[in-house]
Chain A
């Protein structure tokens, strides 16, 4: 492989200059993402290349195709599933160099961007025009549009706007042969012609190709927003409250349910400010956060209606700081300078999660399984958050999070056993193994249990776009951790 890498570098240097490197010092920086792994377990790629546009990306993939070198697309690097771990070696293509706003079409509420623009920067640009991309993962300061497409990550506002799939109308993709192909329906929000091939790339983890440009449907920013929190006695009551709110006709912008343990994680800014734990009623087993947005009178009306609908089963969080703290964590990211919840919370152990999805009626059973399996595998519980991420539907996308000890091999092995059993439990409860982390290097191959016969068709699709299996090998169809 070393000869091939040297040859690839020789060919790419005249095109990319300093943006291609085989220096150990540069490659080391791409050794890991946010996925749980032992502290010393890095996957260092053999080369780093940073294209600034589709054409440069094509050149990289063409060279890799010819020489048979794996290609991994890297973006925010915040994935929790190992989607960008170069455990088969190869060229790490850092897509963040493709960060341009290519065309902004306000009249048609559409923007075309390079896939490397961060969601944060895109929204800073759009805000000048009173607009936003409502796909909003917590990682948006680092996560790019391309990453959101590749990982199909979560969005705070999913219950109103859906996720990236609902925003993406077209994408340019460099497939495994180096060809650049446009997939989608231009700026139209939908189509009933042909196959919706651009949907294939959402959650594809760059195993079919590298998305270099995206055409996105954007929205006007709401004029005002109100966020409310409610303590609820049980998770079952929280589910009931969610259904009540949805059936009432209130247009919710976000709807999240946390178990009691998880609240601790989201009240970092509260603790920074007051140096004490927030007071949570003894009886409360779940905390629900709801936001509504729009014109002030509409928001006011919805707020009154929400309070009325849940008054018999929930008690409103009066300490506004708890709500503000949660919202800082989920959306505004306005952390105290020099302090931030992510590193502050992971000084000793690492965040890890099983991100299964189950139908609402099975949520409590899934939570029970979480508690039991955490205990069985000696995983320290961080807690549960239920996001709803399909427009206008109660659609649990769940983070069952724990803290893993990344200095203890047994604990780490047990984490993946925990994920495995949680995934099997989700299938048993008529759900899915993953709703926002993706397969990464953990569920590939094992996910055949979920997909059955269709798994073979996935393989066929893969070989059509990537005949030499160079695009992010070791993902989707193979796992490092779960067999």
Chain B
């Protein structure tokens, strides 16, 4: 229990407190409805392990891994909730209690440098290094759009051979495997790690900046915000709500950059009930995509309903994971609302699409 021991103070503070402020909007708690799926329940599990009240087991793993690692609870708290969940996960993985879906992701990352195992690579000659990340590498249309937008903004992106940043391993408790993947990353991407690296995926941004400590990692939204006002664009006039990706918002505290871009494009920006630090997860984090697909769908649909409540025409975001979960959920929710005859609908478009449209002048 060494990994948990270092968080003993936080764990006992929660056990002493039980305020429950972490519970009500926790995406997995809202789906599973049992306390152990929320932060304070997991804190009790951590305490139980520390004191030998409960044992490491597969049933505990199923409960601990039922978490999006989104950090909503931590935003509501004063403790290191997500680090504690990570320590719980690492303790379980070390003892051999894992989820098959996560095992497969780990295997793919280590063997193929890609969580989905496709091994696809895109290469492009250019001047500034663009790290696409696995999600975009697997989506050539999106990659093309990103390159097109950056080029129109005056950046000549260079795409070189990539390997996975292994954020998924970090988040799902595969500590040793993460270290191996990190070594591999440094080997494959080594020649570029001291360059300015433009990132487009929030999870990659978080990993490269915070876990790998690479010196010059810039998320695309930071650059675009600076460059966009100098470019001629076709102004939009519809209403948009923005979904904060957990790793970009709570993780990197980039709340304003995407919002400023949206406003510069001419959209009326309306906020959802839960936004910025307290934004709700799309459901796609923490390994849930590999272990609890129904929960991902339901969580994304809840987010879409919140977006519908704003009266926005579009929900937009700047994360490949959020974009795909929200896109599917927007279709499903709009279909359900049509069947009910409510007239409520919303479309999902990521910020790259909004930018592409605006730059087609």
What residues of chain A have their CB less than 8 Å away from a CB belonging to chain B?
18-19, 21, 23-26, 28-34, 39-40, 42, 44, 48, 50, 74, 76-78, 94, 96-97, 118, 120-121, 124, 139, 141-143, 333, 335, 337-340, 342-344, 346-347, 349-351, 406
In the complex the two chains form, is B44's CB within 8 Å of A32's CB?
A: yes
Q: Tell me if A's interface is mostly helix, strand, loop or mixed.
A: loop
Contacts of B59 in A (CB 8 A): 23-25
In the complex the two chains form, is B19's CB within 8 Å of A34's CB?
A: yes
List the B residue with the shortest CB-CB distance to A97: B33
List the A residue with the shortest CB-CB distance to B48: A28
At the interface with chain A, which of B10-18, B98-106, B334-342?
B10-18
Q: Answer whether A339 and B21 are a contact pair too, CB < 8 Å, given A25-B45, A26-B34.
A: no
In the complex the two chains form, is B19's CB within 8 Å of A29's CB?
A: no
**Max chain B C-beta neighbours (<10 A), residue from A25, A29, A141, A340:** A25
**Interface residue from A19, A32, A143 paired with B15 (Cβ < 8 Å):** A32
In the complex the two chains form, is A120's CB within 8 Å of B24's CB?
A: yes
A420 to B40, CA, bound (A): 30
In the complex the two chains form, is B17's CB within 8 Å of A19's CB?
A: no
List the B residue with the shortest CB-CB distance to A337: B277
Contacts of A124 in B (CB 8 A): 273
Nearest-Cβ distance from residue A91 to partner chain B, whole angstroms: 13
In the complex the two chains form, is B75's CB within 8 Å of A337's CB?
A: yes
Contacts of B122 in A (CB 8 A): none
Q: Please, how many residues of chain B have a CB less than 8 angstroms from a CB on the other chain?
A: 43
In the complex the two chains form, is A118's CB within 8 Å of B24's CB?
A: yes
List the B residue with the shortest CB-CB distance to A51: B33
Q: Answer whether A343 and B34 are a contact pair too, CB < 8 Å, given A29-B41, A124-B273, A338-B277.
A: no
**Interface residue from B9, B40, B60, B277 paired with A24 (Cβ < 8 Å):** B60
Contacts of B53 in A (CB 8 A): 28, 31, 40, 42, 44
Contacts of B36 in A (CB 8 A): 25-26, 28-29
28 intermolecular pairs with C-beta atoms under 8 Å apart: A19-B34, A24-B55, A24-B57, A25-B63, A28-B41, A28-B48, A29-B45, A30-B35, A30-B44, A34-B18, A39-B12, A39-B15, A39-B16, A40-B53, A42-B53, A94-B33, A94-B34, A97-B33, A121-B24, A339-B78, A340-B78, A343-B14, A343-B19, A343-B77, A344-B78, A346-B13, A346-B16, A346-B17
In the complex the two chains form, is A338's CB within 8 Å of B74's CB?
A: yes
List the A residue with the shortest CB-CB distance to B12: A39
A94 to B32, CA, bound (A): 12
List the A residue with the shortest CB-CB distance to B64: A25
Contacts of B32 in A (CB 8 A): 18
A271 to B54, CA, bound (A): 39
A124 to B35, CA, bound (A): 22
Nearest-Cβ distance from residue B70 to partner chain A, whole angstroms: 14
**Max chain A C-beta neighbours (<10 A), residue from B23, B36, B54:** B36
Nearest-Cβ distance from residue A75 to partner chain B, whole angstroms: 9
Contacts of A349 in B (CB 8 A): 16
A143 to B24, CA, bound (A): 10
A69 to B92, CA, bound (A): 33
A34 to B21, CA, bound (A): 13
